[in-house]
Amino acid sequence: MENSFNLPDNGKKRIVIIGAGFAGLKLARKLAKSPFQVVMIDKRNFHQFQPLFYQVATSGLEPSNISFPIRKVFHEHSNLHFRNTELLEVKAKEKIVVTKAGELSYDKLVIATGVNTNYFGNKNIEEHSISMKSTAEAINLRNRILESFENAILTDDKKEQAKQLSVVVVGGGPTGVELSGAIAELKNYVLPKDYPELDFSRMKIRLYEAAPRLLHVMSHKASDDAYKFLTKLGVEVHLNTMIKDYDGENMTLEDGTVFKVQNFVWTAGVGGKQINGIDKEFYTRGNRLVVDRNNQIEGLKDVYAIGDICSMNTEKWPNGHPQVAQVAIQQAVLLAKNFIQNTTKPYEYHDKGSMATIGRNMAVVDLPKLKFSGVIAWFLWLVVHLMAIVGVKNRLFIFINWAQGYFSRDHSLRVLIRPFKK
């Protein structure tokens, strides 16, 4: 069935990469012009810039601005090949991957599938909440928010209006903090102009976090400043508060308190998805694959994992590295070098810092030797994320959108796109 992949038989050793996220795409680009035949497999035909999903969800950016066709990245590199299909199984002993398009042999396999939303086994929350781990889900969240506003203006029932307008975000990590801040800015500066008939004092934005502080992977200063910024924007922040259940209408807290909730967004955790053919013994907490210092899955020859899906224990990081883009990119760069040079240089994470934005002129930055927040942090966040975007055209469009939004506080992208039933 390998012929179904229509790959040239040139005698080159084949590296198969599963996943076109930060890790997979960086690895493929670093292997361009290498002596290997590189085959990337992904169920989507585009790379998506996850840190800006929340801006798509809040009408700040168009979905196309943060998406980039994988095939365009592979232009002019005859050894790079992309196949739009989905991984079904890994047969490590036979060195074969099974996909929906058929079977494909490999000399080295790299799993870079990333992680999905983790609901911690709560089926009700998984079924009824809104998640944001893909471009499609970000568009769905945008539609859900806009639909709620349109529904609110169709009724004069004050309680129903309050329910439609209000938003609950669960999870005080970067995604939850940034999403809450963006929705608050919509409420404060944009939506009252779109819907002058509505009383937006009834719109409540609540952020729930089970931990005692926001942004727990960052410094205490960043956590405190983020809390102050969100509070200034009008977000109700509830720390040390765990959500027990949500059935699509009622949200239940751990202490038994019940609230009526229409828009319930879950950003509280991430976890990997176990792959058929790779036994449970190779996984650790969060369904992450255990790898050695060369990113090879411990116990599987010539099978590697990079990025969020892998867990590498080191002296500095005994519980694995943080699941951030820089870890994925650095692992990909070193692995490509080891493949090309046939070396086994061990990976060591070089922490360049972390950051999160809350609103206009409001951001927090943790650098290795400096921690700060405010306007300068916000501009630094803009520059770093703009330069990380794949594609000059995408960078230009995002810059224009950000510039327009900064001066007008209105992106004019609040378009509700949905299929209509015949």
Instruction: Give the model confidence (pLDDT) of 275-292 as tens digits.
Output: 999 999 999 999 999 999
The mean-pLDDT minimum among 195-209, 241-255, 400-414 falls in 400-414
Q: Which residues belong to CATH 3.50.50.60 in the chain?
A: 2-115+272-341
Q: What percent of the chain has pLDDT over 70?
A: 98
Reply yes or no on whether the pLDDT at 420 is more than 80: no
Tokens of 99: 């996909």
CA atoms of 377 and 366, how far apart (whole Å): 9
Helices 325-341 & 22-30 angle (0-180, nearest 10): 30
Residue matched to tokens 């699509």: 248
pTM: 0.93
pLDDT in tens, 153-194: 999 999 999 999 999 999 999 999 999 999 999 999 999 999
The answer to whether the beta carbons of residues 174 and 215 sit under 8 Å apart is yes
Spatial CA neighbour of 181 closest among 398, 385, 35, 378: 378
pLDDT in tens, 56-107: 999 999 999 999 999 998 998 999 999 999 999 999 999 999 999 999 999 9
Annotated active-site residue 254? The verdict is no
User: In the CATH hierarchy, which top-level class contains the domain 2-115+272-341?
Assistant: alpha beta
- CA distances 317 to 94, 295, 348, Å, are 33, 14, 10
User: According to the model, what pLDDT value does residue 231 have?
Assistant: 98
CA atoms of 326 and 368, how far apart (whole Å): 14
User: According to the model, what pLDDT value does residue 422 have?
Assistant: 54
- CA distances 275 to 28, 103, 104, 265, 334, Å, are 21, 15, 16, 27, 24
Burial of 41 (0-12, 13-18, 19+ CB in 10 A): buried
CA atoms of 385 and 403, how far apart (whole Å): 14
User: Looking at the chain, how many residues does it have?
Assistant: 422
The answer to whether the beta carbons of residues 337 and 30 sit under 8 Å apart is yes
Question: What is the per-residue DSSP string for 16-78?
Answer: EEE--SHHHHHHHHHTTTSSSEEEEEESSSEEE-GGGHHHHHTTSS-GGGGEEEHHHHTTT-T
- CA distances 342 to 35, 291, 310, 335, 338, Å, are 12, 18, 22, 10, 5
User: Kind and range of the H or E element at 4?
Assistant: none
Residue matched to tokens 């770093």: 384
**Residues 6 or more apart in contact with residue 69 via CB below 8 angstroms:** 45, 46
Q: Give the domain 123-268 fold.
A: FAD/NAD(P)-binding domain (3.50.50)
User: Kind and range of the H or E element at 255?
Assistant: none
Question: What is the per-residue DSSP string for 106-157?
Answer: -SEEEE----EE--TT-HHHHHHSB--SSHHHHHHHHHHHHHHHHHHTT---
User: According to the model, what pLDDT value does residue 1 have?
Assistant: 44
CA atoms of 165 and 260, how far apart (whole Å): 12
pLDDT in tens, 292-332: 999 999 999 999 999 999 999 999 999 899 999 999 999 99
Reply yes or no on whether the pLDDT at 390 is more than 70: yes
Tell me how many helices (H) and strands (E) the chain has.
12, 25
Reply yes or no on whether the pLDDT at 365 is more than 80: yes
Tokens of 81: 């090949």
Q: What is the mean pLDDT of the chain?
A: 94
pLDDT in tens, 122-141: 999 999 999 999 999 999 99
Q: What angle do CA 238, 119, 215 make, to 5 degrees?
A: 40
Reply yes or no on whether the pLDDT at 372 is more than 60: yes
User: Kind and range of the H or E element at 326?
Assistant: helix 325-341
User: According to the model, what pLDDT value does residue 4 have?
Assistant: 67
Q: Which residues belong to CATH 3.50.50.100 in the chain?
A: 123-268
Q: Which of 76, 86, 103, 178 is catalytic?
A: 178
User: According to the model, what pLDDT value does residue 269 have?
Assistant: 86
